Structure 1
């Protein structure tokens, strides 16, 4: 804790939103008087975006959950004591497990939970509940890039280098990433670079680009294959790097030969000469980076698409070199740490595989159980949600830090599955759309009221610090897990409630794993050390690893892997009935499902309702005018939005933000088809039609 000017408490912590985790200083003795200021933390350097500046408004939202709620027989949620609420949940869980087995209970986590919460949630699911049915909303964000990164490099860390390295970049390819709106402080690190932006829309980021490639939604994979083709044919690849540091290039090169520029133009709509200019910019200058985001990953072939951009970066000789590289721009606040410590369906702490006997033995030893007591892998996020309430699926769901009623694809269907449950329990600090459907709602602490750690997109472990005490009847998620676990018969000591104690156990559980935190401690973090994982426990304090791969990649032979990326046939939908491509994404004032930012007046007043961004010619063909209401309809459902005309849009494409709920939810029309390797749904392209709606 910092000094307290004028008698007011003050802490240095981090923004509650995206994975950039900008440094902030909070000052104030009560929620209504909290003020925020940016610090000189390296990623934001004294800057904040609008969400960061307005974050204290979350602390005083008028509908803050301040006591447990239990649904009465007449259907109303009513206040209850903590013992009553936890007793009711535990009793019903015991009944369902006794009747249907341990997999009758499922857990759904979130990429915004602290490392301590994510860790204890995974432990609770596998020990206290004995269930294999646990996954989290990060499956909808970074999973494709994680699978591709593990395959290529042997390890998955969003950025294998510090954000500040980008300040020396001469050229940066941003594929499917609109950082000017999603991570505005990051743009200051790109001021000296020529940006090559791949995006179907002319976003705020694309407007600053030296070159904008504007493909048909869903054609990023052939575009990446075409860029690699040009790099090979025009002799712009780094053959010495390929020979010394990689394997598998020949097969990938043969595949790329089928994607000559004119063919790519016919599929993507990006002119062949623009493709050639992009490769020239990437290969001509030193200090080049390839960065991908959700636009690349949120497809049913998202893993292959991310792999294709990694292949391009490898062919150019970028990853693991001092002033160039490849990275994935992780989205959620703890999207990196959240996928490392056990709340994924197939994972144990330290980014260990749940199917690895050695990993099971190590973690079981830390937990004091037998390896055979740990369940195997369960369903991934959408498959888990789709199975809810079915004969062979979970009968109960516990949700922590997520709002799947809005964030899941084909959300009307997922809402039906949630309603079919025998028990839905939601821990949150606001009544999200999912919480309003719950049988039991548990009020938990929010960012300025809790201690813990977060891991930023660059793999740096950070301290979240509490400024305020929570309301009297609000508990931490750690307290909730402890209370339920004890009621389910677990030993009292197995579920600590103090974040520092949980982190000490996390250190031991992660030791020796790919994401090794064993050399990190609260004391080192509080002293100001910059510690990036892996940071193993050694005889002397390990300095952490800010830059991965400079000497070797994480495969046994120390080489990176080129991996073949196959272009699949698109999902077949009637183009006559649904002639337009719809893509979804974020806008500057809002974040994720909007459960937080729609409650901040300064943000919500800027973009108070959902909209569809349409080219004027497209709008005219559909009988639409600027600011009129329209229905966006796919084969799965419709959303009601207001029309915004934009002459920079492709005439075959419309855009809808995904932050809104009810009839305005973009996920009413999105497609639930999944990437077979990552479990990522097809969020970024849907076949739709537009229709005028009278007001």
Structure 2
């Protein structure tokens, strides 16, 4: 399918006024990329002149990665969206006024609802939206549209860890302790996390620890490890079960902790006892001696941590796999102890806060269940409606996208802060589903691949042009502060949602576009929930208080909760839960037609779908095109050579990429990054099989073949 034409420019954009040379604005804020949310100080009067310096903030301590240093360049991207765009009858996108664009959206939404009912319209959000945007987006979907069909790209990020964390601890917070606690660790197991490339400033907190890195690739993180466990893709849970088996057989369990602080150990251990080290080695390829060494390192450390990342989560069995590593941590007595613990390394900038306040299909603000009558009554009361106005749970992210344009699926879609044409699995199929819609609306600040397909494109503010809050991977609530005013015709997402809500018949008094007012409403909606923000305010955050949720609105100003579970876990009885899990294998295995495992991931220079980083010259210079890593022997067998173009194909589709021969790769595995568009989309071949509990697609393993591209030369 060819891309729609680029926007037609019908008038010039007013130039910004000359800055006053006597006063150059400065602002303390946070990096727009990953969930570390590194502290930064911005300076500049114009987008093209903004400079950044790292702040002495706890998570980054005066450091930034390559993406953080170059983040201001996105502010002056040459193709920045500065006016609304509406698709003409001839198929071209052309500039329009805000009234024309919003009227077109409102009219289209009303027509779809009249023909297909409220669930004929859907909303897809993003893990990079501020807390205020995520909250108002969920409110907009459920009140202004009346639809249950809302989810977000965070479902593709750490939903499996969230499901496993809730089951084990009664609460889901990426790290239930501050990042700075890792500085005292003696041993850290990083399971499926390439921190050196995805969160480089975090590595300084791990400098003193012996690292055990579990990854099918010898990544930059694995190269710094004391022990690298290199399992076959899709066998992570078998390895976790084997490690628990060894801990039990070798007498390394913390029996007192298990007896006094947990439940369900016997059932979990019964499953693990079937996975003796040699059986695990035969399946995973990880030597039994390395398995035993890993357990001894963890059990023998005074302070030890088990940290999981996308590598173990992005599977159709991701929730069980994370539970396997949680079981190991519980068996060794790590969670809920000062100086030790289990945590999940949240990926997206507001991946934590983004799922807490209502843009997930099954949740209401405060991490409340949408099926809980008490939760529905509380949130409805804050919104000034009766509980029966709130729809029930809708489809999870991939199920929602897969249903678009179908007989019983949504006919209209609003996208805020996401680029699913690149980021969703089976992306060629998704492109067809988007094309089948009656109405596609995208709010963004650059013409992403998804925006290029839209009927209406709404230009919205960037990170350095807006106020708000985000919640980083530690559950620390942070203030985003504006440095610049946005271009004259650019509006905030909050303004867009307010204006659309009013056009759809909602009372204007119910919808604020002021971030402070929206946050105050969020506080009220979260009060008493698992993610309670009611004691957090802009005033406290602006006073440089560092507040971790839960932070209830209690007398005497609650100090927040940097460390969870020290006294009790969040289940009613205060005990953590083991989960009885077993290895099932990936949804698709290799065979004669597709003899290689493919796994996908990130690289240092790029982020997510690349919509931002592919617009930065330094970053595109570092990694300008898609590539595939392959072992030299596998390259020979596949008929490809280093530097040539190759095709990686699965039963669903294929991508084109430049071959990189790497002798540290497994013979049965190839790797491709997922940041690139067009024929370079890794998600053209990934498997859409879903975890039944979390809705996570199987991004990390599928069967492929590698072959030379006809006519291609190095």
Where 1:132 maps in the other structure, the secondary structure is coil
Q: 1:415-465 CA distances to partner (integer Å, 9 max, x unpaired)?
A: 000000000000000000000000000000000000000000000000000
Residue 565 of structure 2 is matched in structure 1 by: 549
- Counterparts of 1:570 and 1:600 in 2: how far apart (Å)? 36
Residue 117 of structure 2 is matched in structure 1 by: 101
Residue 57 of structure 1 is matched in structure 2 by: 73
Alpha-carbon offset, residue 519 of structure 1: 0.1
Alpha-carbon offset, residue 601 of structure 1: 0.5
Pick the aligned partner of 1:122 from 134, 138, 142.
Answer: 138
- Counterparts of 2:267 and 2:327 in 1: how far apart (Å)? 11
Pick the aligned partner of 1:338 from 342, 354, 357.
Answer: 354
Q: 1:363-402 CA distances to partner (integer Å, 9 max, x unpaired)?
A: 0000000011100000000000000001110000000000
- Counterparts of 2:305 and 2:590 in 1: how far apart (Å)? 39
- Counterparts of 1:628 and 1:565 in 2: how far apart (Å)? 43
- Counterparts of 2:232 and 2:475 in 1: how far apart (Å)? 33
Listed as ranges, the matches of 1:234-273 within 5 Å are 234-273=250-289
Pick the aligned partner of 2:100 from 56, 59, 84.
Answer: 84
Residue 429 of structure 2 is matched in structure 1 by: 413
- Counterparts of 1:5 and 1:520 in 2: how far apart (Å)? 37
Q: 1:151-209 CA distances to partner (integer Å, 9 max, x unpaired)?
A: 00000000000000000000000000000000000000000000000000000000000
- Counterparts of 2:108 and 2:251 in 1: how far apart (Å)? 65
Where 2:399 maps in the other structure, the secondary structure is helix
Alpha-carbon offset, residue 570 of structure 1: 3.3
Q: 1:654-695 CA distances to partner (integer Å, 9 max, x unpaired)?
A: 000000010000000000010000000000001000110123
Residue 59 of structure 2 is matched in structure 1 by: 43
- Counterparts of 1:247 and 1:13 in 2: how far apart (Å)? 43
Alpha-carbon offset, residue 567 of structure 1: 1.8
Alpha-carbon offset, residue 566 of structure 1: 2.5
Q: 1:510-538 CA distances to partner (integer Å, 9 max, x unpaired)?
A: 00000000000000000010100000001
- Counterparts of 2:239 and 2:54 in 1: how far apart (Å)? 39
- Counterparts of 1:145 and 1:587 in 2: how far apart (Å)? 22
- Counterparts of 2:586 and 2:313 in 1: how far apart (Å)? 15
Residue 533 of structure 1 is matched in structure 2 by: 549
Residue 578 of structure 1 is matched in structure 2 by: 594
Listed as ranges, the matches of 1:189-338 within 5 Å are 189-338=205-354
- Counterparts of 2:489 and 2:590 in 1: how far apart (Å)? 53
- Counterparts of 1:46 and 1:572 in 2: how far apart (Å)? 44
Matched, 1:481 2:468: no
For structure 1, which runs of at least 5 residues remain unmatched after alignment? none
Pick the aligned partner of 1:601 from 613, 617, 625.
Answer: 617
Alpha-carbon offset, residue 623 of structure 1: 1.1
- Counterparts of 1:450 and 1:664 in 2: how far apart (Å)? 33
Q: 1:279-300 CA distances to partner (integer Å, 9 max, x unpaired)?
A: 0101011100000000000000
Residue 165 of structure 1 is matched in structure 2 by: 181
- Counterparts of 1:587 and 1:580 in 2: how far apart (Å)? 21
On the 8 A contact 2:588/2:702 being kept in 1, the answer is no
Alpha-carbon offset, residue 359 of structure 1: 0.3
- Counterparts of 1:358 and 1:5 in 2: how far apart (Å)? 56
Where 2:574 maps in the other structure, the secondary structure is coil
Q: 1:9-36 CA distances to partner (integer Å, 9 max, x unpaired)?
A: 1010000000000000000111111010
Considering only aligned residues, what root-mean-square deviation do their CA atoms show, in Å?
0.9
Pick the aligned partner of 2:626 from 610, 614, 630.
Answer: 610
Residue 621 of structure 1 is matched in structure 2 by: 637
- Counterparts of 2:142 and 2:67 in 1: how far apart (Å)? 36
Alpha-carbon offset, residue 571 of structure 1: 2.3
TM-score normalised by structure 2 residue count? 0.96
- Counterparts of 2:586 and 2:32 in 1: how far apart (Å)? 37
Structure 1 range deviating more: 5-14 or 300-309: 5-14
On the 8 A contact 2:467/2:479 being kept in 1, the answer is yes
TM-score normalised by structure 1 residue count? 0.99
- Counterparts of 2:48 and 2:193 in 1: how far apart (Å)? 35
Q: 1:75-134 CA distances to partner (integer Å, 9 max, x unpaired)?
A: 000000000000010011111101110000000000000000000000000000000000
Listed as ranges, the matches of 1:11-22 within 5 Å are 11-22=27-38
Where 1:7 maps in the other structure, the secondary structure is coil
Pick the aligned partner of 1:378 from 383, 394, 400.
Answer: 394
Residue 700 of structure 2 is matched in structure 1 by: 684
Where 2:693 maps in the other structure, the secondary structure is coil
Where 1:528 maps in the other structure, the secondary structure is coil
